[in-house]
Amino acid sequence: MAFENKVVEAFIEIPTGSQNKYEFDKERGIFKLDRVLFSPMFYPAEYGYLENTLALDGDPLDILVITTNPTFPGCVIDTRVIGYLNMIDSGEEDAKLIGVPVEDPRFDEVQSIEDLPQHKLKEIAHFFERYKDLQGKRTEIGTWEGPEAAAKLIDECIARYNETKKQ
């Protein structure tokens, strides 16, 4: 039986091309400007998270959704997960899922990060390698992983979230 990519709901906080880093305040139900990037760089894809997950950094699992056009903070995108980027941010593991919108026919053939143009992967890696330089913070880029590894990572983050809810 062939592997089927996970489809998730990506909750978008930051649209493609933004220099503003927004965060959703669940208690107040609002988006708040967390900061403007110190570097003259812009998010290379829609940036958000998966609800009801807990990554190793203590936050919900991050996701980048590659779209044809920018969306808006609060948009929920049905997303086919095609892989993830391993990275270290300020000494902590901080994986970034990569996905494409299910509802955009331009991405119908994209099932793995290997199906994306190599230049797009380089843009994403470059952004996360450099976007905190002027803050004096360090990030390290690791390996790219495919959709099977991404599905496993999502399951682990859901289990971690459910375990902390029990406590």
Helices (H) and strands (E) counted in the chain, each on its own, are 2, 9
Who's near 132: CB < 8 A, 6+ residues apart?
Answer: 38, 39, 89, 138, 139
CA dihedral 149, 150, 156, 158 (to 10 degrees): -160
Which residues are documented as binding site for substrate? 21, 35, 47, 131
Which residues of the chain are modeled with pLDDT < 70?
1-3
In-domain check, residue 158: yes
Query: Given this model, what pLDDT does residue 91 score?
Result: 86
For residue range 121-165, list pLDDT tens digits in order.
999 999 999 999 999 998 999 999 999 999 999 999 999 999 998
- Whole-number pLDDT of residue 90: 86
User: pLDDT value at position 3?
Assistant: 66
Question: Alpha-carbon distance 47 to 55, whole Å?
Answer: 15
1 occurs within a structural domain: no
Asked whether residue 43 is domain-assigned, the answer is yes
| Residues placed in the known binding site | 21, 35, 47, 57, 62, 94, 131
User: Residue 158 belongs to a domain with what CATH number?
Assistant: 3.90.80.10
Range of the domain at 158: 7-166
Question: Is residue 144 situated within a structural domain?
Answer: yes
Radius of gyration of the chain (CA): 15
Q: What is the pLDDT, as a whole number, of residue 34?
A: 96
Going by the annotation, the residues of the binding site for Mg(2+) are 57, 62, 94
To 5 degrees, how large is the angle CA 135–CA 26–CA 16?
A: 50
**Number of domain units in the chain:** 1
